[in-house]
A and B are shown apart, each in its own frame.
Chain A
Amino acid sequence: MTKSKVAFLFASQTLGKQRLYLWTFTFKELLSVKETRKRWNHLLTLLIRAWPNLQGLRVFELHEEHGLHVHVVTNQFIDVNRARELATQAGWGRIHVTRMPSEHSGYLAKYLSKERPECLKRWRLWAGFGNGWEWTKVKDVVRETLFSRIYRACKEWQGWSGRKGFFERMDLVRRMMILTIENGWTVGRGPGGLPYSAGWYPGEETD
């Protein structure tokens, strides 16, 4: 699971404390992803202008046959006919809306599990919108795994700061993780439970 997907799940949990509606916006014709994004920004501006308290999360889905779709979870019921008018104004086609039980709030995360298409590289696949709430962002997510614990021990040992030599760090942490598992060491410690800084280095170990 990527951190982005986890951040989305947390954000949807926060939004899920309210009554939720699931919207899908599509087009009649097949549009380029750039054009779709432009039209989504237009539509969102119109929606927020019409319903200033509207809060929600949107997810882009590149459909195999029908181009880019936008799925949206919102916290309040908005007049569908009015929303259709605004969607038409922004150049959108079909709109579908349904009530969503709050326990299903993470449903849209399934679209974040798909492999990211090349044309959506560096795109925000999901985003929150609306005033009065703060959705969880990737930077707010802390990962707690064997790897992250060993990374923290290595960071202390090596005095890492900044992002210099990122890939070399990853290689070292991975080697330490393999050694930890193979030799049954305490997590974040070297042979005999000694700290990494005790003068032992990976590569000297023989098995």
Chain B
Amino acid sequence: MTRAELLKEVLQGVLLIVGEYRGSHAEMAGYVDKKYGTAIQYVRAIHIVECSWHGHLDRVIITEKFPETFATAEQAAATFNYVRGRKYVFYIEAVKRERGQTLARMAGWGAEPIEGNEDGDGTAAGGPAPP
């Protein structure tokens, strides 16, 4: 995604988070019924993204739920093609702030890298990183 495309999305009011990708974890999450031993399981991923929040750097926890066609965490992990330190646009369907921690849920559109920010440290075209 180019900066112009990103600006267009922002001006259209699309809910998104721009941040530096820090890592991901895919897991089989679920619930077990202690009474009857039944379980509900689903595959999800947690992405950690560093972005600016009210003037300081903060980690945002973004969760991504996978469809039922994903049976294992490994299948989900195989879809991660993010580069650590690079800036991405994460499309979001929900966001909340809980006790100083920003939590978000990724929308079906996923995430896209921002062109011109390949190194993620602000030295790429576009100028230095904010202080």
Contacts and interface: CB of A to CB of B under 8 A. Distances in A.
B111 interface: no
Main secondary structure, interface of B, reads strand
B29 A142 contact: no
A178 B25 CA distance: 10
A136 B35 contact: yes
A107 to B, nearest CB: 15
A13 B35 contact: no
B129 interface: no
Nearest to A9: B40
Given A167-B99, A181-B48, A141 B22 contact: no
A145 B34 contact: no
Interface in A122-176: 134, 136-137, 140-146, 167, 170-171, 174
Given A6-B31, A144-B32, A181 B23 contact: yes
A143 B61 contact: no
A7 B35 CA distance: 10
Q: Which of B27, B28, B100 has the most CB of A within 10 A?
A: B27
A205 interface: no
A145 B22 contact: no
A151 B57 CA distance: 25
A171 B100 CA distance: 9
Contacts of B30: 143-145
A14 interface: yes
A3 interface: yes
Contacts, number: 68
Interface string B95-126: 00001110000000000000000000000000
Contacts of B59: 178
A13 B25 CA distance: 30
Q: Classify chain B: how many residues form its interface, as a range.
A: 20 to 34
Interface in A177-199: 177-178, 180-184
Interface string B12-35: 000000000011110111111111
B35 A140 contact: yes
Contact of A181 (B22, B29, B101): B22
A142 B48 contact: no
B32 A142 contact: yes
A23 interface: no
A10 interface: yes
B24 A141 contact: no
Interface in B36-50: 36, 38, 40, 46, 48
Interface string A1-35: 10100110110011000000000000000000000
Contacts of A180: 25
A169 B61 CA distance: 17
Contact of A141 (B31, B100, B101): B31
B27 A140 contact: no
6 contacts: A6-B31, A10-B31, A136-B36, A142-B31, A171-B99, A178-B59
Interface of B: 22-25, 27-36, 38, 40, 46, 48, 59, 61, 99-101
Given A167-B99, A181-B22, 7 more contacts: A1-B31, A13-B38, A144-B28, A177-B61, A181-B46, A182-B23, A183-B23
